[in-house]
Amino acid sequence: MDFSGTVADIATTLRQGWLFTGQPSAYAGRPRGTDPDGVPPRRFVIFIQNHDQVGNRALGERLNHQVDLAAYRAASVLLLCAPQTPLLFMGQEWAASTPFPFFTDHNPELGRLVTEGRRREFSRFSAFSSPGVRERIPDPQALSTFKESRLDWAEREREPHASTLRLYRHFLGLRRTEPALGDARRDGFEVWALDEGTLAVRREAVDGSALLAVVRLAGSGTVEISGTRGRTREPNGRWNVLATSEDPLFCPDPQPPEAALTPQSVRVAFARPGAVVLGSA
């Protein structure tokens, strides 16, 4: 496959709008993609999961079923601080516990073929090489498969769903109130990888106010951004912490990152995946 899944690739995708801009594709056997230069960021729709990615999995697992909640919160903050238009898959905003398995409502003959074809498709995957294991893939035609995909709206009042919902509401609110997040000019943002697990997004409004999100998607560690390239420079030389993904309001077991802020640098120590969002003071 052509995707490496690196943080550097994520940064490139956010910076450009999509990853492939004409590079040779080993998978397709030909150049892939076109140059999106000049397309306004708001015309790009980005997401961390959608109905295809979830529904096309054998068991319909969501992203929050596959990564821990700390990484899920960090990825969510990255999504909501990017200049592109975010797409939220139903229930994503509270890390819904319900899966979204593929379901259909065809006539019996076509339905049988769809069920057989779907299970045959997964035979190429080592986890489903056994016929007995493939039989456990939900039958798309079964009413129970459809019912399993329905959201449990009541769980929004329970943890950890309630705190995840508060995180989404908070950062969606920031998109409406922070000038830097409301300005989606192509020359008004930067995205770059800090190391193999961390990237940063810097947004700036026409009035000079700025926002800096430092997002760690994997593991623990410390990163530092030097002001020598201007990425930490502010009109009055100071940042203040607006929020983190580990704030007690958003996390039932918080492990807040430690941020050391000076006019010359931003240094953040992460105990686990997380995000720190800074605003110009």
Residue 270, helix vs strand vs coil: strand
- pLDDT of the chain along its 281 residues, tens only? 677 889 999 999 999 999 999 888 888 889 998 999 889 999 999 999 999 999 999 999 999 999 999 999 999 999 999 999 999 999 999 999 999 999 999 999 999 999 999 999 999 899 999 989 999 999 999 999 999 999 999 999 999 999 999 999 999 999 999 999 999 899 999 999 999 999 999 999 999 999 999 999 999 999 999 864 445 555 456 899 999 999 999 999 999 999 999 888 899 999 999 999 999 86
**pLDDT value, residue 229:** 47
Asked whether 128 and 134 are in contact (CB, 8 A), the reply is yes
**pLDDT value, residue 1:** 60
**pLDDT value, residue 158:** 97
Backbone angles phi, psi at 84, to 5 degrees: -75, 170
- In the chain, CATH 2.60.40.1180 covers 7-94+156-280
**pLDDT value, residue 2:** 75
Report in angstroms the alpha-carbon separations of 178 from 104, 129, 217: 43, 50, 24
Hey, which CATH number is domain 7-94+156-280, 1.10.150.120, 2.60.40.1180, 1.10.3720.10, 1.20.1640.10? 2.60.40.1180
**pLDDT value, residue 235:** 46
**pLDDT value, residue 230:** 47
**pLDDT value, residue 231:** 55
Q: Is-cis flag, bond preceding 160, omega within 30?
A: yes
Alpha helical stretches, state H, 122-160: 131-134, 143-148
Q: What is the CA radius of gyration of the chain?
A: 21
**pLDDT value, residue 23:** 87
| Percent of the chain as helix, strand, coil, to the nearest 5 | 35, 20, 45
Give the closest residue to 242 by CA, choosing from 195, 264, 209, 272. Answer: 209
